[in-house]
Amino acid sequence: MESFSITRPDDWHVHLRDGAMLSRVLPYTARRFGRAIVMPNLDPPVLTTADAEAYALRIRQCLVPDSDFEPLMTLYLAESTTPAEIERASRSPVVAAVKLYPKGATTNSARGVAALDALGPVLDALERFDLPLLVHGESTSPDCDVFDREREFLDRSLVPLVERHAGLRVVFEHITTADAAAFVEQAPARVAATITPQHLLMNRNALFQGGLRPHHYCLPVLKREEDRQALVRVATSGNPRFFLGTDSAPHSRSSKESDCGCAGVFNAPVAIEAYAEAFARADALDRLEGFASHFGADFYRRPRNRGRIRLERCDRPGPAAVGEGPDGLVVFFAGEALRYRVVGPD
């Protein structure tokens, strides 16, 4: 196809950060996506409804004057979170979901949850007030192999949690394995998953291609080729339980290229183009619109966006970085050819 248009997409999982980083990265998300689910793993994290409302305001203050981008906020589930806070969140016009980070699983998860069992009353409140639980699904047990963390979390924590809370809506975030895809396919309709462009386009060989490649390191870490293929299969299947969540997670070049580099791939500047590349490779461009623009809105029970964006064939590499030097942000897929580019609203 030379050119095609889709309903304006939404990003159901993004890290916008705060302060100077927020103003650097927000324009890339806000120019493409109608809405975004904004992750709460700031330092300190977004623990309360008041924190989330203040953060939403800071995001809005960074937008260009006529932007109609809508940040949808999340609370960070901590062991101190109370059912009363969940009730408050459910009444807030800006809070859309609550995020579970297993303690120590990823960037800024030190205040996350060590013992899921102790959370029963808070999960009951989520169910009662109908707020979705977004899950970073990785085991943090120290003897679990890094490539098995998602499967171990799924078996030991997520399956029992979904069974125990029969009315809870759950998004299994940034799934990376065939096991996770199979679980969501057979789970009740209240369970969905987001999938990132990096997990659709790369497998774990990319981490070691010609040397150690820190800009391909994110969590959950890239998996085997058969896992990547399973993700492509479900993302392009038209199954509404799988939808777009970029997990765009900017870290400066110096904090990635370090003896203990941060986890996170910054893909916001090329996110739609990268998804289009993955769908084009699978000969499934006709399924991109559902995945990118319909299914997430339906799951979150929000209206689909009304605007459209147009993509055009180009076969050119995307931008390599935003900014220069140690503070620069290396962009996902830097230098690789992308078949499509967004040419603006339709």
Stretch that binds Zn ion, among 223-231, 246-254, 270-278, 280-288 (CB under 5 A): 246-254
Minimum CB separation of residue 248 from ligand NCD in Å reads 9
Q: Which of Zn ion, ligand NCD, none binds 96 (CB below 5-8 Å, type-dependent)? A: none
Residue 260 tokens, joined: 């203990």
The radius of gyration computed from the CA coordinates of the chain, to the nearest angstrom, equals 19
Which of ligand NCD, Zn ion, none does residue 140 bind to, with CB < 5 to 8 Å depending on kind?
Answer: none
If one asks whether residue 247 binds Zn ion (CB under 5 A), the answer comes out as yes
Identify which of residues 29 and 106 has a Cβ nearer to ligand NCD in the complex: 106
Pairing of strands 337-345, 308-317: antiparallel
Spatial distance between the Cα atoms of 282 and 230, rounded to a whole number of angstroms = 12
* Helix extents (H) in 113-203: 120-128, 149-153, 159-164, 178-186, 197-201
CA distance 156 to 189: 21
Element (H, E) at 279: helix 271-281
- Which region, judged by CB under 5 A, interacts with Zn ion, from 115-123, 186-194, 195-203, 244-252? 244-252
Residue number with CB closer to ligand NCD (246 or 293): 246
User: Looking at 148, 227, 247, 327, which residue is catalytic?
Assistant: 247
Q: How far is the CB of 279 from ligand NCD (least distance, A)?
A: 22
- Distance in angstroms (rounded) separating the CA atoms of residues 194 and 243: 5
Binding site for ligand NCD (CB under 6 A): 15, 41, 106-107, 136, 218-219, 247, 249, 263-264
Is residue 66 among the annotated active site residues?
A: no
Cβ 163 to ligand NCD, closest distance in Å?
25
In the chain the first and final C-alpha atoms are separated, in Å, by 16
Contact of residue 41 among Zn ion, ligand NCD, none (CB under 5-8 Å per partner type): ligand NCD
175 binds, among Zn ion, ligand NCD, none (CB under 5 to 8 A by kind): none
Q: How far is the CB of 15 from ligand NCD (least distance, A)?
A: 4
Residue 99 neighbours by CB distance under 10 Å: 25
Residue 264: contacted member of Zn ion, ligand NCD, none (CB under 5 to 8 Å, by partner type): ligand NCD
Q: Which stretch binds Zn ion (CB under 5 A): 16-24, 93-101, 137-145, 241-249?
A: 241-249
Q: Which is nearer to Zn ion, 51 or 346 (CB)?
A: 51
* Least distance to ligand NCD, CB of residue 249, Å: 4
Cβ proximity to ligand NCD: between 29 and 41 the closer is 41
Comparison of 15 and 341: residue with beta carbon closer to ligand NCD = 15
Residue 271 amino acid letter:
A
Using CB under 5 A, which of the segments 50-58, 75-83, 200-208, 245-253 binds Zn ion?
245-253
Q: Which does 277 bind (CB under 5 to 8 A by kind): ligand NCD, Zn ion, none?
A: none
DSSP class of residue 116 equals: G
287 and 236 in contact (C-beta within 8 Å)?
yes
Q: Are 49 and 88 in contact (CB under 8 A)?
A: yes
Distances in whole angstroms, Cα of residue 131 to Cα of each of 56, 96, 261? 18, 7, 34
Query: Measured from the CB atom, is 179 or 247 closer to Zn ion?
Result: 247
> For residue 39, which of 264, 208, 301 has the smallest C-alpha distance?
264
CB under 5 to 8 A by kind: which of ligand NCD, Zn ion, none does 136 bind?
ligand NCD
Cβ-based neighbours of 157, under 8 Å, separated by 6 or more: 102, 116, 137, 139
- Closer by beta carbon to Zn ion, 171 or else 235: 171
Strand order in the sheet with 70-76: 11-14, 35-38, 70-76, 95-100, 133-135, 170-172, 191-195, 242-244
Contact residues toward Zn ion (CB under 5 A) are 247
Residues with a catalytic annotation lie at 247
